[in-house]
Amino acid sequence: MARSLADMTRAALARIEEMSPEEAKRILDATGHEGWHFVDVREGDEFAAGHVPGAKLVPRGFLEVKADLEHPKRDPWLADRERPLILYCGGGHRSALAADTLREMGFRRVVSMAEGFAGWTKRGYPVES
Q: In this structure, is residue 15 part of a structural domain?
A: yes
Give the pLDDT band (50/70/90) at residue 51. confident
pLDDT tens digits, 53-77:
877 766 555 545 555 556 555 555 5
Q: In this structure, is residue 94 part of a structural domain?
A: yes
Question: What percent of the chain clears pLDDT 90, i.e. is strictly above it?
Answer: 12
Domain hosting residue 31, numbered range = 5-122
pLDDT at 63: 47
Q: In this structure, is residue 127 part of a structural domain?
A: no
- Average of per-residue pLDDT values in the chain: 78
Cα 112 to Cα 61: distance, rounded to the nearest angstrom: 14
Which strand ranges, in their side-by-side order, compose the sheet holding 37-39? 18-19, 110-113, 85-87, 37-39
Number of domains in the chain: 1
